[in-house]
């Protein structure tokens, strides 16, 4: 059996590649001829591309559809140069122009079903999109400005009700709504199943009242929707800790955010990197939401949200790779140009070898990343019925770990290779180093991934 058989839903063309229509073109009849020819083989390895082009990254393992996505995203990101990102980082200003540009061309629906206005591609292509954004110089800030819109909508598309499928998802794709993801809590941290935010159903069953606190919620200031995980049955009353949690897709109206006493309050967190996007503490105090904001069945929220979590790990791995390759490219160029003691600094093996090592780590992490994304996509299809959720979990977690570590190594080497200039904002590498801690910490830390693999793959006793 071929892993790489293209599902029928891959019949897609990208406006950004063609400039022929204002949306992702879904009907096969609308696909421009030059893209149609790619569709038949869109998930097979590319044989028609040069192995190297505008990047140090080896492109030979990518599929035609991933390379098409890459080309098209590069055209969008070309309008957002490093000056843009330096300035937005300095002023802590939301990069809404990037979100709007991607929404305009339909990119936010890249991995959503065609039936709801998405492109019907997979996490394999979405990972390429996120990597390309990050690698363009936008880094984690650029990626995080749309990140939740891409992965948090995965469980919504699978378990959402009619209104959520017919209105919310198309609204997120078109950019009408921006969404954020509300799971982490200050007092429970990585022990997600103990989270305390509670959604209490009204006696007439028409609404829930939410009380509790979330922390580190990215883009909550600019988002109008939140995918929220809250407890609907107290922990003491459930058989398993993973029961009794529910997922909601709730409104975060501007006026409620700004009105004291509305039951919704946001506090921005000052942070190390990715300063263009906001991160927040979010307080709910009897904040009322309609009952139909529930996604799927009450009490099944943890299982539902897991569906998006493996997708998120793949995307974050791609984002980390983007940072790593951007830093390596900059460092290699600098090492060729910068002359000290009468020779290019890159002639010193103390500079060259760590960069060569960073390259090999990135390439290995890249293979792990796109392998895990492919497994994630396959697991949802008939051909992939042999791919177990455990395999996807192990591969997606491993890829996120490896890519984050490879990115860190690359960003750190890039700063050191630049000498003092590595510390100057205008060379960007200090910004990327600050940002590359995010994939190491979130959405799950390195330590918890090591715990997961020790326990679930190696069968070792649980340590906590």
Ligand X SMILES: Cc1cc2nc3c(=O)[nH]c(=O)nc-3n(C[C@H](O)[C@H](O)[C@H](O)COP(=O)(O)OP(=O)(O)OC[C@H]3O[C@@H](n4cnc5c(N)ncnc54)[C@H](O)[C@@H]3O)c2cc1C
List residues binding ligand X (CB under 6 A). Answer: 180-184, 189-190, 216-218, 274, 279, 438, 441-445, 447-448, 451, 464
| C-beta of 9 vs 445, nearer to ligand X | 445
Q: What is the smallest separation between the CB atom of 275 and ligand X, expressed in angstroms? A: 10
Q: What is the smallest separation between the CB atom of 453 and ligand X, expressed in angstroms? A: 12
Q: What is the smallest separation between the CB atom of 56 and ligand X, expressed in angstroms? A: 27
Q: What is the smallest separation between the CB atom of 216 and ligand X, expressed in angstroms? A: 3
Residue 106, CB half-sphere, CA atoms under 13 Å: how many?
26
Helix (H) / strand (E) containing 446: helix 446-452
Q: What is the smallest separation between the CB atom of 248 and ligand X, expressed in angstroms? A: 14
What are the DSSP calls for 121-151, one per residue? Answer: --HHHHHHHHHHHIIIIIHHHHHHHHHHHHH
| C-beta of 12 vs 183, nearer to ligand X | 183
| C-beta of 367 vs 441, nearer to ligand X | 441
| C-beta of 128 vs 276, nearer to ligand X | 276
- Please report where in the chains the tokens 């600050």 appear, as a residue: 434
- Quick check: 157 and 116 in contact, CB under 8 A? yes
- Quick check: 322 and 130 in contact, CB under 8 A? yes
CA dihedral 368, 373, 379, 380 (to 10 degrees): 180
| C-beta of 211 vs 445, nearer to ligand X | 445
Q: What is the smallest separation between the CB atom of 317 and ligand X, expressed in angstroms? A: 15
Q: What is the smallest separation between the CB atom of 182 and ligand X, expressed in angstroms? A: 6
| C-beta of 116 vs 437, nearer to ligand X | 437
| C-beta of 32 vs 189, nearer to ligand X | 189
| C-beta of 269 vs 360, nearer to ligand X | 269
d(CA 51, CA 135): 18
- Quick check: 143 and 133 in contact, CB under 8 A? yes
Q: What is the smallest separation between the CB atom of 180 and ligand X, expressed in angstroms? A: 6
Q: What is the smallest separation between the CB atom of 451 and ligand X, expressed in angstroms? A: 5
- Quick check: 145 and 35 in contact, CB under 8 A? no
3-state DSSP helix/strand/coil % of the chain, to nearest 5: 55, 15, 35
**Tokens encoding 68:** 């098409």
Q: Which residue is nearest to ligand X (CB)?
A: 189
d(CA 353, CA 378): 38
C-alpha distances out from residue 351 to 204, 326, 335, 338, 344, Å:
68, 17, 8, 12, 10
- Cα R_g (the chain), whole angstroms: 22
Q: What is the smallest separation between the CB atom of 443 and ligand X, expressed in angstroms? A: 4
Residue 19, CB half-sphere, CA atoms under 13 Å: how many?
3
| C-beta of 57 vs 396, nearer to ligand X | 396
- Quick check: 283 and 265 in contact, CB under 8 A? yes
| C-beta of 213 vs 300, nearer to ligand X | 213
Tell me the sheet residues that pair with 214.
282
């Amino acid at each position: 059996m071929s892993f790489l058989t293209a599902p029928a839903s891959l019949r897609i063309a990208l406006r950004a590649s063609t400039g022929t229509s204002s949306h992702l073109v879904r009907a096969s009849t609308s696909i421009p001829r030059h893209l149609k020819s790619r569709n038949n083989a869109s998930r097979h390895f590319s044989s028609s591309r040069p192995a190297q082009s505008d990047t140090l990254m080896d492109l030979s393992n990518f599929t035609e559809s991933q390379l098409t996505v890459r080309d098209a995203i590069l055209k969008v990101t070309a309008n957002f140069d490093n000056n843009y990102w330096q300035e937005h980082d300095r002023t802590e200003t939301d990069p809404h122009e990037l979100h709007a540009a991607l929404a305009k061309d339909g990119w936010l629906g890249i991995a959503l079903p065609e039936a709801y206005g998405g492109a019907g591609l997979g996490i394999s292509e979405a990972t390429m999109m996120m990597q390309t954004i990050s690698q363009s110089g936008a880094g984690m800030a650029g990626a995080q400005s749309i990140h939740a819109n891409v992965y948090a909508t995965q469980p919504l598309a699978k378990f959402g009700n009619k209104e959520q499928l017919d209105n919310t998802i198309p609204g997120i794709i078109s950019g009408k709504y921006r969404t954020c993801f509300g799971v982490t809590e200050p007092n429970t941290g990585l022990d997600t199943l103990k989270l305390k935010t509670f959604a209490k159903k009204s006696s007439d069953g028409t609404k829930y009242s939410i009380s509790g606190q979330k922390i580190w919620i990215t883009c909550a200031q600019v988002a109008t929707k939140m995918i929220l995980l809250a407890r609907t049955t107290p922990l003491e009353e459930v058989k398993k800790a993973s029961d009794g949690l529910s997922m909601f897709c709730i409104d975060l109206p501007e006026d409620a955010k700004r009105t004291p006493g509305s039951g919704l309050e946001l506090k921005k967190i000052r942070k190390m990197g990715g300063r263009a996007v906001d991160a927040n503490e979010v307080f709910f105090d009897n904040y009322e939401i309609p009952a139909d904001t529930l996604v799927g069945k009450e009490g099944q929220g943890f299982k539902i949200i897991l569906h998006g979590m493996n997708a998120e790990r793949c995307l974050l791995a791609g984002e980390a790779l983007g940072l790593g390759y951007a830093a390596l490219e900059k460092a290699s160029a600098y090492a060729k140009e910068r002359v000290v003691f009468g020779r290019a600094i890159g002639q010193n093996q103390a500079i060259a070898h760590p960069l060569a090592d960073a390259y090999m780590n990135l390439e290995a992490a890249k293979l792990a990343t796109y392998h895990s994304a492919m497994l994630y996509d396959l697991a949802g299809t008939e051909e992939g019925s042999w791919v177990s959720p455990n395999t996807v979990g192990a591969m997606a977690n491993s890829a996120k770990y490896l890519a984050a570590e490879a990115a860190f190594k690359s960003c750190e080497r890039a700063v050191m290779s630049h000498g003092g200039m590595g510390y100057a904002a205008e060379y960007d590498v200090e910004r990327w180093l600050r940002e590359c801690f995010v994939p190491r910490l979130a959405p799950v830390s390195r330590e918890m991934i090591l715990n997961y693999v020790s326990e679930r793959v190696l069968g070792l006793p649980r340590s906590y």
